[in-house]
Amino acid sequence: MEFFNNFKNNLKDFAKPVKNYLNETKSGHYLQASLHHLKKFSMLYIFLLVFVIFLGITKGTLLQANTFTLLFQNNSYIIILAMGMLLVILSGNIDLSVGTLVGLLGLFSVYIYNNTGQSIWLTFILTTLIGAAIGFIQGWLIGYGNIPAFIVTLGGFLAFKGAQLVYSNGATLTPIGSVDSTYIKGTIEGIPDLKVGNIWIFSLLLPLILGAIIVSLRTWGYYTKRKFGIKVQNIIIFTIIQVIIFSLFLACGIIFSLGDKSMRYYVLYVGIALALFTFLSQNTAFGRSVYAIGGNRKAALLSGVNVKRTTMIIFIIIGALAGFSSIIFTATYSSATSSRGDDLALDVISVVFTGGASVYGGIGSVSGTILGTSIIGVINQGLLVLNVAESQKYIIKGLILVAVVGWDVLSNKKNN
């Protein structure tokens, strides 16, 4: 015991000159600022590192239009669900049921499509409403019933899985017309577009328009916060981030425009979701309430935030997104079965945490969630190109999640 006490005292003695150097010298201030910057934008640098590594290993395959399109397809429904999960985690809650709910609603969506004259629009509307209704029930139990979200959604996970097994009875449900149905074509096929030379014009312009909208919304939110005296980023750093975001949309537009087909419908759905949730989180009283609840629930109550109603609305939103994305999810596999969606909730939670959302709530962003999805997506796609075994993929994703959440916990502990 004496050895450990001596070691602790020696460590403190060693740390004193280091602390003095950081606080009292100009170079120390620069080093401190650099370390703070590295910590704040660590996920961006990790993404760039992962992307460059897999780009080299796969010999540039990741930048091929068809590979990039496949990468986007396999992550489109995850991005949409992650927008709802971000709100859930920001509020200090968790949703373990969203995966099996997507699987169940996928079965419902095929039934609705096959029995409503094969109307894809009616299928989207009804499935989304069913998801919202289920989200309302869970949200009411959590918000007004004061039952912990972990318990409610764990119960939902089991109930929805059981309902999947009962409803499907072990059968595979396929939309009438199979791969030629509007159910599938209206989701994963290319949108109507004009091709000039080798370039799809609308596929190039749409990401640029969406990128401009998202950057404009973020800029609006930035100046609104500054107007009301809320602490914001340095204007230079903020501007650099906006340039990076727009550049990523530009890169996506160029890659999509050079594909063998025009931009797929699911890319359009994802773009709309990103713009909508950027606006919701950055520019509305509801978004500020979500952050307030996760940051300090008691303070939010005292400041007049209706915590119960806001919590219920959050779960209605993620339920509706589960309904909408269940069609994209099912169309990607061309059918619905009782085994689909079991691991989906873990994937969605992983990308939100990887994108910088705090396990304690109150910290996270749409752009960070996109970054988290990109990191996990590039790793998955790179491992797929390299024919890595499925078991090893699970191990790698598990280690990444533990590392990211561990970093968040240690950082918060240090700050506290």
202 in any annotated domain: no
CA nearest neighbour of 363 among 80, 36, 87: 87
Is residue 104 predicted with pLDDT exceeding 60? yes
Q: Could you tell me what percent of the chain has a pLDDT over 90?
A: 31
**Looking at residue 30, what is its pLDDT?**
57
Please determine, for residue 137, whether its predicted confidence score (pLDDT) is greater than 90.
Answer: yes
For range 107-133, the mean pLDDT: 93
Domain limits for position 345: 43-193+262-413
Distance from C-alpha of 65 to C-alpha of 53, rounded to nearest angstrom: 19
Question: Residue 4: is its pLDDT beyond 80?
Answer: no
Tokens read off for 229: 């005296």
- 234 within a domain of the structure (yes/no): no
Which of helix, strand or coil describes residue 361?
Answer: coil
Three-state DSSP class for residue 173: strand
pLDDT of residue 25: 59
Over 70: is that where the pLDDT of 31 sits?
A: no
Residue 407, in any domain of the structure: yes
d(CA 200, CA 214): 22
Residue 66 forms part of a structural domain: yes
The gap from C-alpha 252 to its chain's centroid, in whole angstroms, comes to 18
Higher pLDDT, 183 or 83: 83
Query: Is residue 147 one of the residues assigned to a domain?
Result: yes
Q: Please report the pLDDT score of residue 89 as a whole number.
A: 95
In a domain, 382, yes or no: yes
Q: Is position 13 within any domain?
A: no
Q: Is the pLDDT of residue 391 over 60?
A: yes
**Who has greater pLDDT, 383 or 200?**
200
Residue 365: what residue type? Answer: S
Whether residue 235 lies inside any domain: the answer is: no
Check residue 194 and give its pLDDT.
84
* Domain total in the chain: 1
Give every CB contact of residue 62 below 8 A, 6+ residues apart in sequence: 51, 54, 55, 68, 71, 378, 381, 382, 385
Could you give the 3-state DSSP secondary structure of residue 295?
A: helix
Distance (Å, rounded) from C-alpha 101 to C-alpha 51? 32
pLDDT value, residue 114: 92
How far lies 407's CA from each of 258, 274, 358, in Å? 39, 26, 10
Mean pLDDT of 2-27: 52
- pLDDT of the residue at 400: 75
Neighbours of 56 (CB within 10 A): 10
Place of tokens 């916060």: 225
What residues have CB less than 8 Å from 84, skipping those under 6 apart? Answer: 95, 98, 314, 317, 318, 320, 321, 322
